[in-house]
Structure 1
Amino acid sequence: MGVDFNHLIELIPDINTAFLQTIYMIAISLVIAIVIGLPVGILLYVTDKGLFLQNRSVQVIMGFLVNLIRSIPFIILLVALIPLTNLIVGTTIGPSAASVSLSVAAIPFFARIVETALREIDKGVIEAAIAAGATPWMIIKDVLLLEARSGIISGITLTLISLIGFSAMAGTVGGGGIGDLAIRFGYYRYDNTIMIATVVILIVLVQFVQLLGDFVAKAVDKRK
């Protein structure tokens, strides 16, 4: 199995389009995951037993919903969300359509990471803030998010890497992007060149995201 470089050059426009579609999908999904997943993760933490917004009902309901979505394999989630996808974007194929399923999968994933990062905070810091008369919003903004920022950034990195893998899977059902290119050209046409090229692109993209995420997480970690 080798690479035909002349053939690869001919496919550059298709590869470029697929790459941009992948970036588009994961960018939209990551933003939605952060905007919704961050508050959900915070809520999962602060409503837990012994915390300043303890609420058993909210904790159980939110936890159940998060675990429910996370337990569904992504390929099944893609199919299950077809009606919702069609309702939101008016189509079930293409990168915009795939972004719906990617977002739904990423929100609970990131929420649990945020919750885990918050649980690593020394509760003495929270108790000190409460004793000083800080409001719940002040504790969340000035204590929780500040103390857990390194872990949250690492969570964003992990979520982004997962989205890259999920976006490739979305290509199997016409979601566009690198995965779609690999399926249409590499798998169906037995094109080894495009298969190798897409794998290399995904590897490089993941490595870049991981290195950048690690660098930023260490830069904001006040413990180091």
Structure 2
Amino acid sequence: MQADSITAALPEMLAALGETAVMLLITVPIAVLAAIPVGVLLWASRPGGLRPAPRLHQVVNAVVNLVRSFPFLILLIAMIPVTRLIVGTSVGTVAVTVPLCVNAIAYLSRFVEQNLLQIDPGVIEAAQAMGASKLRTIWSVLLVEARPALAGSITIMVVSFISYSAIAGLVGGGGIGDFAIRHGYYRYETGVMIAAVVVMIVLVQLIQLTGTLTARRLDKRL
């Protein structure tokens, strides 16, 4: 009986997996492209940073903290007008990527800042002693040294945001997490829910393995 239920739900499960993939393929590149500059700005503008700007740092820091303090469910609902303005609708897989991107940028930018703080200041001082500009120091030294840590942080973000697909169902976003809840909680199809959870576990393990291998390749010490 359970096997029949799983077989019947397989097309819907694959569609849900595709929706999760769409969310990640839209959210992750946008988050990385936006969060790295924000994280660099937080690092550079902090007291004792490469280019201290206390007021700017306070503003950016406050905005990042504000976004990160919102539970994703509340952020999802609060951003409905903005989402509708950007994509023309507040319902669907593409619509849910708007609050996902906002949350991911704040989430990852804090990781980026912490990754940069872990870099040996002597490396930066050596680059500047050789005449490198501040922009050159950031691009050619700072971000290069931080690549393994950045790869690890991006992996953590991707794994964390897979779980948000369960909340995405509230606005018709779909996703494998929403699929598991609908079948396991609303329809009492335990076998289907377990199958969906297994798919999520496999997906997370693949992403984690890819991220770990990427970080090792980028680490010059290994």
Kindly provide the amino acid, as one letter, of the partner of residue 130 in structure 2. A
Name 1:201's counterpart in structure 2.
199
Query: Which sections of structure 1, spanning at least 5 residues, go unmatched?
Result: none
Name 2:84's counterpart in structure 1.
86
TM-score by length of 1: 0.95
Name 1:146's counterpart in structure 2.
144
Query: Which sections of structure 2, spanning at least 5 residues, go unmatched?
Result: none
Name 2:57's counterpart in structure 1.
59
Preserved CA contact (<8 Å) 2:166 2:181: no
Q: Take 2:184 and 2:95, find their aligned partners in 1: how far apart are those partners?
A: 23
Q: CA deviation at 1:122?
A: 0.6
Q: CA deviation at 1:184?
A: 2.9
Deviations 1:4-47 (A, max 9, x none): 11221121111111100000001111111101101000110011
Question: What is the number of equivalent residue pairs in this alignment?
Answer: 222
> More displaced, 11-20 or 169-178?
169-178
Name 2:16's counterpart in structure 1.
18
Aligned CA-pair RMSD: 1.3
Say whether 1:48 aligns with 2:40: no
Which one of 112, 115, 119 corresponds to residue 114 of structure 1? 112
Q: Take 1:167 and 1:27, find their aligned partners in 2: how far apart are those partners?
A: 13
Q: Take 1:184 and 1:32, find their aligned partners in 2: how far apart are those partners?
A: 29
SS, match of residue 52 in structure 1: coil
> After the TM superposition, which segments of 4 or more aligned residues of structure 1 sit over 6 Å from their partners?
none
Deviations 1:36-85 (A, max 9, x none): 10100011001112222111111111100000100111111111111111
TM-score by length of 2: 0.96
Name 2:30's counterpart in structure 1.
32
SS, match of residue 173 in structure 2: coil
Kindly provide the amino acid, as one letter, of the partner of residue 64 in structure 2. V
Cα distance 1:170–1:199, how it changes in 2: closer, same or farther (>3 A)?
same
